[in-house]
Structure 1
């Protein structure tokens, strides 16, 4: 504040110090303010950077009274941009079968496999951008955050270039892109007939194609996709990628499907099914379903009846339940794999912390013996192992705590799950969205069940 013959100059600085403002209050004779007086007022407030000379001229030659005018402006810091991965193959290949005009699903044209040749470029890295520091009107440097380099999603059967910026296929096969953290290339293994006593259980690092049936008691494990042309009985199929059953599965209460990607089947009966992605079928009956994203029942039947379904986002079906009020338990809104992983991490964290205490107790006792010179070679080895165990477990505990924070954030996110019926929902259906539960007591038609605050409401089918 400067005061000369009742002429007042007020200089204010914004909280982030990126702007300074001047306000001129008139004296009794409305005499003009000089450049030196304005500069002196700025200096009193330590405003030294980004001063607008034209504004000073305006204020001294043609002053505007009682109005705040921006007279200096700093430069905000510009944060850098993180590097990114550029994919040179289609990461959005459709994982849904074709719906024919008569309502049937074409299970022969699934178009799920994307082939690459040896040496084909799969990914390249976009370098990060550095940040640009800023400056306040008081001449203070504002630090900027530099962009972080992207991590090459290196999986199996791929090769990184010498400069570390490109990823190539080291073999011909099928490219897999499941969780945006790894890109792998798998070759296929074909079983020409049934999986039975003649083949035994099938285990393969790549994708598996089975031309016949998979009989009860056998298992198929693949790092890539599993495609079965025949019927799957009470068997176990595990796939790092997708599972495609061209006919279906009659699990007899002991059949299991576990996929790191999607599951597509004509029908699923009396099975335990887990998919990190989507599940699509014409009918799911009396099965326990865990699905990370979407459970969709399409085709002529579009039937979901009996059993338990835990789905991350949405369930879409024509008919849910039956006219006999078959108990059908639906839970949507939370990825079941996240909830289960949270439980596993919590248990491992508790166990690791307990083991650290045991190791510390052993180290304390053995250190005392060492101080007394009574440490035998056997006990020295135990001491060394105990120290190594403590170091490893301490590191592991930190990793688990960080993962707990991430998982907890996912679980606390707003629940937005939905259950959509394109025809009928019968009594006997129980719907849970987050912490809200609804028992269907009368037949509902062409509707969507969704959460509204603490209640589950019935809305239009296209909501």
Structure 2
């Protein structure tokens, strides 16, 4: 045994089997002992690096300071270092935790390698990470083995061969100034022109886990050109591998339009104006109007609508973009109550973008952007992306009165007017998704009521078997099962829809000059009403509150 020098009749010894023993020989006179003195004595004797049992020192002090005979007390021991290895459930990662030694031997490399072998880890071992952990003498769930995840194959891809229609956006001149009226010229193709090529899917790359098990990738989805594409045909040239059906050509002359997984070619109609002499226009393609659209006329096109003049109190609906070189001048009927929805006779609806020089007393709805060069006065504007009022140079944009709504961004120079018109600007929600959400809710409620009725019928038949005629119970059970499946599907659809309706962090209302009293800003469910003149700034959401510049505004919740 290793002897230590006495401390007031108390000695410390490390036994051959690694136990730390405190021995006290009783004496008539002994000073009081404390833990600090014990620690100092252990350090002096080179025993401070041993493992001490819980409450060992306090128990020793208490025993020593109490009257009585001598004693021998085990207070600690020598311990070698250890290690634990954790394997993730997916067998893709091994994590090492090192337990430091207490006067004993540290963990060696071979111990870790043995632990890996016992766990079945044969691949992806990171020797340098293990050596670094051993050198540092410390590790907590350090990754020392890593598998390789399989790489999913790439889906079949479609590439437009007409660069001009890959993205239609405001054109920028040589001085960097964007012209929000000009979304690009119409592109016209002739028969035989290549429109789109298809690249077949790939198989993906294999992976493996740390036990050496191969992980097969999910192959890319094989998607063909969409069926029923109008005005196009597949290339039948054998030299281009006809089995792949990889090239789409124009079959007629007209305007190409990108659609999911394909291109359609639409013919275009040109008119000098639309009035009572032409009658209302409905056309499966694009309509190009050089002049005005007169009061009371209606236009419907599956493609774009271009108006070179002014749109009066008319209705235009397009499956593509609507470009109005002049303005929109309509009439609205309202009582003056700011909470009452106005009725408009100038209605412009586009699944793409809408651009106009100005707009007054009109209802506009766009599937992408609404871009107005000068001003929007007493309009109801709704865009699923952005509403931009005002050019980057020249006259400043202004939104006066009405309701302006966009999912991502509303940008203008001035909101409201010194006359105090109530001007509502909303951002951060999709009105179309909200309508779909409401519809799903009603369907779910109706099915749940039907479930309750079936539950009562089933309970009644089970209680009165004699009433089960013509297989009533089986029919009810089958119907209940179908309704439960329908309910589950609708709940999934509703959950997915709710995730799409989540307010994005980047939603903004940008004001480049001033916000007048009477303006009402809503982002998501937060609403702020302005009662004083304010300068330029950006409205956005921070922690579910509306912030204007660096100012947290007092808001109300809209339900």
TM-score, scaled relative to structure 1? 0.75
Unaligned runs of 5+ in 2: 1-17, 19-77, 236-242, 333-344, 462-467, 551-559
Kept in 2: contact 1:132–1:144 (CA 8 A): yes
Q: 2:366 corresponds to which residue?
A: 275
SS at match of 1:437: strand
CA drift of 1:443 comes to 1.4
CA drift of 1:411 comes to 1.4
Q: 2:264 corresponds to which residue?
A: 184
Structure 2 CA distance for partners of 1:144 and 1:182, relative to 1, 3 Å:
same
Larger radius of gyration: 2
Structural mapping, 1:342-421, within 5 Å:
342-348=437-443, 350=445, 400-421=490-511
Structure (1 or 2) with the greater strand fraction:
1
Kept in 1: contact 2:390–2:396 (CA 8 A): yes
Deviations along 1:108-136, one digit per CA (max 9) or x if unpaired, are: x5424233333313242352342413122
1:324 aligns to 2:419 (yes or no): yes
Larger RCO: 1 or 2 (CA < 8 Å, sep 6+):
1
Please, what is the CA RMSD of the aligned residues?
4.6
Structure 2 CA distance for partners of 1:200 and 1:74, relative to 1, 3 Å:
same
CA drift of 1:146 comes to 1.2
CA drift of 1:206 comes to 0.8
Q: 1:458 corresponds to which residue?
A: 548
CA drift of 1:301 comes to 4.5
Structural mapping, 1:37-436, within 5 Å:
42-49=116-123, 73=145, 75-83=147-155, 84-90=157-163, 91-96=165-170, 107=181, 110-119=183-192, 120-136=194-210, 139=211, 141=213, 143-149=215-221, 151-152=223-224, 154=226, 155-160=229-234, 162-177=243-258, 183-196=263-276, 198-253=277-332, 254-281=345-372, 282-299=374-391, 300-348=395-443, 350=445, 400-436=490-526
Deviations along 1:60-103, one digit per CA (max 9) or x if unpaired, are: xxx979577999745322231432433333355443266899x9
Number of aligned pairs?
Answer: 430
Cα separation, 1, equivalents of 2:285 and 2:386: 26
Deviations along 1:156-208, one digit per CA (max 9) or x if unpaired, are: 43345652444333333222236x56643222112233232x32221111111
Q: 1:377 corresponds to which residue?
A: none
CA drift of 1:143 comes to 3.6
Q: 1:15 corresponds to which residue?
A: 87
Cα separation, 2, equivalents of 1:54 and 1:110: 57
Kept in 1: contact 2:80–2:107 (CA 8 A): no
Structure 2 CA distance for partners of 1:9 and 1:438, relative to 1, 3 Å:
closer
Cα separation, 1, equivalents of 2:102 and 2:547: 67
TM-score, scaled relative to structure 2? 0.63
Kept in 2: contact 1:100–1:106 (CA 8 A): no
